[in-house]
Chains A and B, each alone.
Chain A
Amino acid sequence: VTGAAQLCGALALLLSFALLCQRRLRMSVCLCVVQALLVALATGLQGTLPLALFALLAFGLNGLVLPLALLRIGDRADRQPGFGAPALALLAVVLVAVAVAVAMRLGTGTRTEALAVALSIVLLGLLRITGTSALGLLSAQNGLILAAGAIPGLPPLVLAIVAVPCLPALMVALAWLRRFDRLDAAPP
């Protein structure tokens, strides 16, 4: 079971890279949904009931409701970041290296590996904010869910805070408002 969870985490990290290169909204949202599913699997597979419920709630909100809302809004304000794809990929690799180096200070073992993967996903998600903010935040939230799953015995308040993606939801709401604004501004 541990092996399966690790595999899910690694695949989620791979999807982070894919998300970084993907510029089309529909495809990016699909990647985000799959990533949320993998993260939920990695968290839920650990076997305790509270964690399974947490994973289910997190997937429902972060993996279904928000991405579908974003797709429906169709926020096309996807800006190219200031640097090209090679620089972006290089930066991403550096961030992952930093994340691994940071996590290795906590010792070794499966928990450290999970935290390293989680931190990488968070950092890559925050890097993605330079493109579409809402998608980047969704992806970073996936990383936080993975991290929360790797730490045993968290109190319910913390699990609730991590499971309910309030910041990505705000960003999606802003994207919705912005579309509203653009309709206002459009010539008749």
Chain B
Amino acid sequence: MNLALPILVVVLPFASAAVLGVVASWRIGSLINAASASLLFLLTCLLPGAASTVLHVGPVQAHLALLTSFVAMTTGWFGVRHVRAALDARLTGRRRVRIQQVTFQVLVGATILALLSDSPALTWLALAIAVAAATSASLTPRGAAPDAASRLLALCAVGLMLALFGTLLLYLAAEPNPASLRWSALLLAGSPRNAALELACIFLLLGYGTLAGLVPLHGWLPEAAAGPAPNAIILTSLLVNAPLLVILRLRGCMPADLLLALGLASLLLAACCMSSRLDPRRAVAFAGMALVGLIVFAFGLATPLHALLLMTLLPLARAAALQCEDLSPTRASAWTSTACVLALAALPPFALFLIAGATVDHSAWLLPPLGIGVLLTSWALIARLPLSVGPAARRDSGNETVALAPIWLQLAMLLILAVAMPEPVLDWFRDMTISIR
């Protein structure tokens, strides 16, 4: 059982995608979607300590898989309401809904596979599957959609091609026995450096950096955020953790200055792109990009504990902010949306607070641009604040409290992790940091 568990966790979303492809009713489909995501969360709760021959379940991988399935679960519940609202407003058709539900499960499965896989080639394959699913999900019935989808695919494909070249170089670096290359072995070997490994790391940083939303090729991120909501949440908040994990694993071989420069450039560019005229989803996407920049900056400063904490907080805040869509305009939902935007706006200063000391140790000159980027991002979010919540109420808001529950659950976790940080949780994070050192 213990050996089969990780494989079960990976297979479950793909299996439910297959089931969803057959089920005709959108009502049953969205229930299956939510139920499967909840079951996945229960299974991943058992994951810490599990062993596997094919996959590698270290503390970090188990933690990120747990996070992924948790957000997937709340998004699944959100999806039930969202699909009903979208169908009522005739924003989408039933066939579209079915495609979106299938791609949602495929995205979740691909993300977990990319996190848990022990072989670099399998990680690449999982991310390619995710990009394929994202592309087919962002095809909306008519109009400019194929152009948006092909822009998304073209940028992600450039990143994936560079990453595949980097992966090939990684196999070249494992010269005497390339067939035995494993992420976990790469970590343990204390990295006997050679030129091929360093070169591979640069290509992987550029390639997977694209998928994480780093600077040279970040243009796909707003496109993806504007796609259908449940898929956009998985794509922009959870999928980025998989490429970030690769960068985290290899950060020892990457030039620290390049990491710092890419992180800072992403932060500043995202801060400049945020304007109050942006629609809310794109604003959330750019805020997330700024935070990913801060995370990569933290990688460059070699403070993995802070980076891991931010990698945990970012998906929670991003998903909660995106789940505030199409709530009916009640007082409670207005408060919820405000709380989500405030949480997202509080994250960059929080990150700055975490890494300021290490930044000054590295070079005090980095602090002013970092501060400017953080201030601009937070200010742009707070400036949107008197929020109007959606169009007129579409239905009786009797089950509104139920709809708000998952969002508040995520905000509560955010608060516990960022402010309270109880001792067991801190130990959990310390264990992770030790395991990747």
Contact = CB atoms under 8 A, between A and B. Distances in A.
A11 B171 CA distance: 26
Given A147-B168, A178-B147, 6 more contacts: A105-B195, A115-B172, A133-B150, A140-B161, A155-B179, A171-B153
Contacts of A87: none
20 contacts: A106-B195, A115-B172, A122-B161, A122-B165, A129-B157, A133-B153, A133-B154, A143-B165, A153-B178, A154-B179, A161-B121, A161-B125, A161-B164, A162-B168, A167-B131, A167-B160, A170-B157, A171-B157, A177-B146, A178-B150
A170 B179 CA distance: 29
Given A122-B165, A147-B165, A178-B146, A167 B157 contact: yes
A129 B165 contact: no
Interface of A: 102, 105-107, 115, 119, 122, 125-126, 129, 133, 137, 140-141, 143-144, 147-148, 151-155, 157-158, 161-162, 166-167, 170-171, 174-175, 177-178, 181, 184
B69 interface: no
A151 B121 CA distance: 15
A174 B135 contact: yes
Interface residues of B, number: 34
B337 interface: no
Contact of A170 (B121, B132, B165, B168): B132
A161 B178 contact: no
A151 B168 contact: yes
Chain B at the A interface: SS class: helix
A129 B219 CA distance: 15
Contacts of A152: 178
A105 B168 CA distance: 16
Contacts of B128: 166-167
Contact of A137 (B157, B168, B178): B157
B378 interface: no
Most chain A CB inside 10 Å of its own CB: which residue of B132, B139, B154, B161 = B161
B277 interface: no
A105 B199 contact: yes
A158 B146 contact: no
A137 B158 CA distance: 8
Contact of B168 (A140, A148, A167, A177): A148
Contacts of A170: 132, 135, 153, 157
Contact of A162 (B142, B164, B172): B164
Interface string B288-329: 000000000000000000000000000000000000000000
A167 B178 contact: no
Contact of A174 (B150, B168, B196): B150
A166 B132 contact: yes
Contacts of A181: 142, 146
